[in-house]
Amino acid sequence: MAISSNVSEFLGKIQSGVKPNMFLVDLQFPANHPDNPQGDEKDLVDLLCKSAGIPAANMGVVEVPFRGRVVKIAGDRTFDNWSVTFINDRDMKIRSFMERWLETLNSHEGNVSDLFLPNNGSGYTADLKVKQLERDGNANGTVIREYTFKDAFPTSVSQIDLAYDANDQIEDFTVDFQYQYWEVLSSGTGTSNNLSVEG
């Protein structure tokens, strides 16, 4: 197939493109989280998400030696951590929510787990979402594609660096989440197609 160098044809294909700064996260918390954020506090968590990511799709490979060659066979699926960076709010509420979530998994001094079951709803996991938006006439942007991270929980909250020479900056920190698998909902064509990718 010949590829045209015509600018109009190129613009017709790419249209407005997809912009990495047009996204929205929807972070749920376990129902039994000690400070389960609701209302304005929940909106604050979603609003001050500085960066996130669309998940990778990874497939392991089984390498089988055969007569001087290596034959490759599809192996098992793996899932990377999902990292989310937050702007640190004035009252450090978001960081507190994440620290308390980790505390329910394993307390600092007592070495106990208040939420010791992984089941979604009554345990320590929750479903998290990231939505790719399109900049259009919709005030909030139209959702092009939506990923749901099933049964997710945090595994680390990064340190915040402090320094006398850190001028003209606002603090941020990163939270790493583990999850069982992700699902995708595509609505770019006006129809929704569910794709569940499980381990």
pLDDT of 138 higher than 80: no
Whether residue 181 is contained in a domain is answered as yes
Shortest CA distance to 93 belongs to which of 48, 51, 123, 126?
Answer: 48
Whether residue 6 is contained in a domain is answered as no
Whether residue 163 is contained in a domain is answered as yes
CB of 45 closer than 8 Å to CB of 97: yes
Q: What is the pLDDT of residues 95-109, one digit of tens each?
A: 999 999 999 998 888
Count of structural domains, the chain:
1
Q: What is the CATH number of the domain that holds 123?
A: 2.30.110.20
Element of type H or E holding 176 = strand 172-178
pLDDT of 51 higher than 90: yes
pLDDT on residue 31? 87
Phi, psi of 45 (to 5 degrees): -60, -45
Q: Which amino acid is at 163?
A: A
pLDDT of 45 higher than 70: yes
pLDDT of 35 higher than 70: yes
Judging by beta carbons within 10 Å of its beta carbon (0-12, 13-18, 19+), is residue 145 exposed, middle or buried?
middle
Whether residue 89 is contained in a domain is answered as yes
- Banded model confidence at residue 191, pLDDT cuts 50, 70, 90: very low
Whether residue 11 is contained in a domain is answered as no
Whether residue 75 is contained in a domain is answered as yes
d(CA 17, CA 189): 14
Whether residue 30 is contained in a domain is answered as yes
Whether residue 1 is contained in a domain is answered as no
Q: What is the pTM of this model?
A: 0.84
Q: Which domain holds residue 34?
A: 17-55+70-197
